[in-house]
Amino acid sequence: MSTMSETTDPPTGYRGYVIGPHARVVVVRRHEGYAVAVVHSEGPLSHDDAQDMAAALRRQGSGQLTKSEAASILGITEKGVDYLRREGHIISVNQANNRVLIDAQSVRDYQGRRDG
């Protein structure tokens, strides 16, 4: 069972690997001298879908949310999330690519205060 094959000239631009149509999305944890990979989704996934899923997994581990995810948790629109950011009710970080990440703990804290 191989989802990646080593090549010398990968057509997808990835150094040494070609991602096939049945590639899995995995979570990799590095420990002292070894790595553990856990399959998160079997696929088949498009390259873009696999990248989006991997990005969501990285954010999940970092304690950050997108505006869309924060809006869904709070039951409001993304404009409502922007309002809460401006008013200082939730903490956010602007990334270099003009995307905004919201601190998940500040969303939970705000939700707790709001719901009493």
Residues paired with 66 in a beta bridge: 101
* pLDDT computed for residue 38 by the predictor: 66
Look at residue 14 and tell me whether its pLDDT is greater than 70: no
Q: For 31-39, what is the mean pLDDT?
A: 70
Cα–Cα distance for residue pair 20/44, rounded to 1 Å: 9
Our measurement of the distance from residue 49's CA atom to the centroid of its chain's CA atoms, rounded to an integer in Å, reads: 11
Tell me how far apart the alpha carbons of residues 86 and 92 are, in angstroms, rounded to a whole number: 10
Higher per-residue confidence, 79 vs 9: 79
Nearest to 101 by CA among 70, 73, 66: 66
Residue 18 has pLDDT above 80, yes or no: no
Residue 110's pLDDT is what? 95
Whether the per-residue pLDDT at 111 is higher than 80: the answer is: yes
Per-residue DSSP letters for 84-103?
HHHTTSS-EEE-TTS-EEEE
- Render pLDDT for 57-75 as a digit per residue (tens, 0 to 9): 777 777 888 898 899 999 9
Q: Which amino acid type is present at position 10?
A: P
The rounded distance, in Å, linking the Cα atoms of 45 and 73 is 26
Model confidence band, residue 79 (pLDDT cutoffs 50, 70, 90): very high
Kindly list the domain boundaries of the chain, sorted by start residue: 4-62, 64-115
pLDDT band at 10 (very low <50, low <70, confident <90, very high): very low
Question: What's residue 60's pLDDT?
Answer: 72
Distance separating alpha carbons of residues 93 and 24, to the nearest angstrom: 30
pLDDT at residue 9 in the model: 44
What letter represents residue 79's amino acid? K
